[in-house]
Amino acid sequence: MGFLNKALFFGGIYGIGVYAGAVAWTIRKDILRYESEPHLKPLVPEKRVVSIYNNIAEKYSKRITKEELFSGIYFLRFFHLRNAKGRVLEIGSGPGSNFSFYKWKQIQSLSLVEPSEEMHKLASSRAEKKVPESVHLKQYSDFEEVPKESSFDTIVQTFCLCSQEKAVESLNNAKEMLRPGGQILLIEHGQSKYGWLNKILNTYAESHYEDWGCVWNRNILELIEESNLELDSCKRYNFGTTYVIKAH
């Protein structure tokens, strides 16, 4: 290695080290500040979350494709959602992120519940390309609009508990519309298994919520326990922050 290459190599390593140290120092400072303030209640999404999603719909839709390949979530969607079959209800369907993962041959109908108008529009245009004509597609902006007598074989919800003001109520509504023997497939994100990571999630939860409409430190298992759902399986990935759940 010539002198110039050596200088660039060690200079590069030094630069990365200094940068990583500065980031770690800032995070530590933010955590200490966060922990010195009183936090009486965990952060919960509110109604205005829908306007946040209206503002970020396009950005969200573009960004998740790349990020999910990198974090492996793409593959979790691939393996979990291929189990959806029959009459399917998807809650908080966003821009139609799951359309590429369904095995359409085994799906009879797809009903979508999505309160954000902008997300709704993106899902409609994606549906034109991705959802076969043989699948009966319905779009609702509120759970209340789904006919009460409906019954579904599969209910899907991905990355939605983080955005729902009444998350437990929504899980209970889903359970009521599940036919006996049906399945609820969830992929959610929330608290980690690791205390150090939860400290970071807690510290930046509020600013992440303002930017992305998502409370990323919710206790997912507690929400499920509070609901009427019965857990069949739960696997956790990404330091325990991503939850792949089958329930009924």
Ligand X SMILES: C[S@@+](CC[C@H](N)C(=O)[O-])C[C@H]1O[C@@H](n2cnc3c(N)ncnc32)[C@H](O)[C@@H]1O
Work out whether 173 is an interface residue with ligand X (CB under 6 A): no
Q: Which amino acid is at 236?
A: R
Determine which residue in the list 88, 113, 171, 186 makes contact with ligand X, applying CB under 6 A.
113
Q: Give the separation between CA 102 and CA 93, rounded to whole angstroms.
A: 13
Work out whether 227 is an interface residue with ligand X (CB under 6 A): no
Determine which residue in the list 101, 102, 159, 243 makes contact with ligand X, applying CB under 6 A.
159
Residue 133 is classified by DSSP as T
Q: Cβ of residue 76: shortest distance to ligand X, in angstroms?
A: 11
Work out whether 53 is an interface residue with ligand X (CB under 6 A): yes
Work out whether 152 is an interface residue with ligand X (CB under 6 A): no
**Nearest-CA neighbor of 74 among 111, 95, 106, 100?**
100
Work out whether 160 is an interface residue with ligand X (CB under 6 A): yes
Q: Are 112 and 133 in contact (CB under 8 A)?
A: no
Residues shown for the chain: 248
Residue closer to ligand X (CB basis): 6 or 66: 66
Determine which residue in the list 102, 111, 146, 163 makes contact with ligand X, applying CB under 6 A.
163
Work out whether 81 is an interface residue with ligand X (CB under 6 A): no
Q: Cβ of residue 54: shortest distance to ligand X, in angstroms?
A: 8
Work out whether 242 is an interface residue with ligand X (CB under 6 A): no
Q: Which two tokens stand for residue 153?
A: 């074989």
Work out whether 202 is an interface residue with ligand X (CB under 6 A): no
Complete DSSP assignment for 58-79: HHHHHHHHHHHHHHTHHHHHHH
Work out whether 111 is an interface residue with ligand X (CB under 6 A): no
Q: Please tell me the count of residues contacting ligand X according to CB under 6 A.
A: 21
Residue nearest to ligand X (CB): 94
Determine which residue in the list 116, 173, 191, 227 makes contact with ligand X, applying CB under 6 A.
116
Q: Give the separation between CA 159 and CA 70, rounded to whole angstroms.
A: 17
- State the burial class of residue 159 (Cβ atoms within 10 Å of its Cβ: 0-12, 13-18, 19+): buried
Strand order in the sheet with 231-237: 136-140, 107-113, 86-91, 152-158, 178-189, 242-247, 231-237
- Contact range with ligand X by CB under 6 A, out of 23-31, 145-153, 155-163, 171-179: 155-163
Give residues in contact with ligand X (CB under 6 A): 49-50, 53, 64, 91-94, 97, 113-116, 119, 158-160, 163-164, 170, 214
